[in-house]
Structures are given as C-alpha cells and as structure tokens.
Structure 1
Amino acid sequence: MGEAERGEAAPRVVVSYWCSNGHETRPSFAEEPGLSVPEQWDCPRCGFPAGQDQQNPPAPPRVEPYKTHLAYVKERRSDEEGAVILDEALETLRSRGLIR
C-alpha cells in the first residue's frame, strides 16, 4: 500500500474541485507557509478538468478529430494544384521507366 507512517503527519488542507459532470474530488495538500493549491485538478472519474467553483466548473477540452495526411494536404493545396503535382510525379516515374 504505502509507507508505514512514522511520527506526526504534516497538517493537511483539503480542497474541493468539481468537474463539468458534477463529480467532486477532494485532494489534500500539506499545509505550509505560502501554500498555493492548483487552480485545476484532473477528475479521477471522467478525466475532465475540475475547478474550485462548483457553480462554474471548467469546460471539458475540445477534442480535435483525427486528420489523415491527405486531409492536411488538401488544406494547403487546391484540387488543381494537386492535379499538377500528380502529373509531375507520374511524368517522373514514366521517364524512369517505372510505369507506362
């Protein structure tokens, strides 16, 4: 489990965090001078960020969909530019005798 406790435990501060799903997380921190607790904490139940304001928790992160290499190329090149590049590549292969 963990190390056996020896001596007195350090004084603790328990802080409540809430995620957008309403889960409450209560990690404890050692109380020390100049203590600054994190503004956000990852919810152990759903993984969303959790904040200290129960009425206004942080929004879940926006997940970007996976893009293929072709999707990135199409963002940078028009169909006409792609056709020109393809024709150049095919001509190079034909000149090498790799395709007819």
Structure 2
Amino acid sequence: MAGGNAIRGTRVGAGPMGEAERGESAPRRRVSYWCANGHESRPAFVLDAEEPEVWDCPRCGLPAGRDEKHPPAPPRNEPYKTHLAYVKERRSDADGEAILAEALNRLRSQRGEG
C-alpha cells in the first residue's frame, strides 16, 4: 500500500515548461573534429566563442583536429623507466666506476680508523 504525499516518477526542476521556463539558449554552431582513428565529434560552441584548434575525442581520447585528412598525431607514450635507467642517462660508465671507487675508498678508510 502506498502512503504519504510522495509524487512518484518526478524530480526537482522537472516540469512541463521546458525552455520557456529557463529562457532562450544562446545561438550555437557545431564544429567537426576528427581524430587519428577517424572518429568525428561535433561539439557545439556559442557563436561568439573562439573554437579550439584541438579537441579530445570522446570515443578514444586522442586529440582531434578540424582537418579530416590530417588529424593530429597521437601523443607519444614514454615507457616506464626505472631509477637505474634515469641514472644511466645522467652518468657514463666511467663516472659510475669513479663514484664506486670513491665510496669503497671511504669505507676502507673508515674501517682502518675504527
């Protein structure tokens, strides 16, 4: 048994008035963008707004441009690098050998003094 005053199937702000209740929307234009996978997206912009050169494709997430024949290239994803890979980029093998020799000499001198 249903009780109370609840109106079922409605939500706050829902009403029969529609656009007349909210006022008129600004005039808009649709602009086509294409990604490298060939997807077309057509976002709407207000007439006096400046359209961006690049738009993210809502289907695949790649950058999309306005030229269908030459869409922007997908971003290059760098593979995960370990700490050792970053160290090897900064230092040569000779630098590593010199640092290792210096650290070993320091340890040997501490042991000899202790």
Q: Which residue of 1 aligns with 2:100?
A: 86
* 2:47 pairs with 1:7: no
Unaligned runs of 5+ in 2: 1-12
TM-aligned CA deviation for residue 27 of structure 1: 0.6
Identity of matched residues, %: 69
Q: What's the C-alpha RMSD, in Å, of the aligned pairs?
A: 2.0
* 2:44 pairs with 1:28: yes
Unaligned runs of 5+ in 1: none
After TM superposition, the structure 1 stretch with the greater mean CA deviation from structure 2, 47-56 or 82-91, is 82-91
Q: Which residue of 2 aligns with 1:72?
A: 86
Ranked by relative contact order (alpha carbons within 8 Å, sequence separation 6 or more), the top structure is 1
AA at the equivalent of 1:48: L
Count of aligned positions: 93
- Give the alignment's TM-score, normalised by structure 1: 0.79
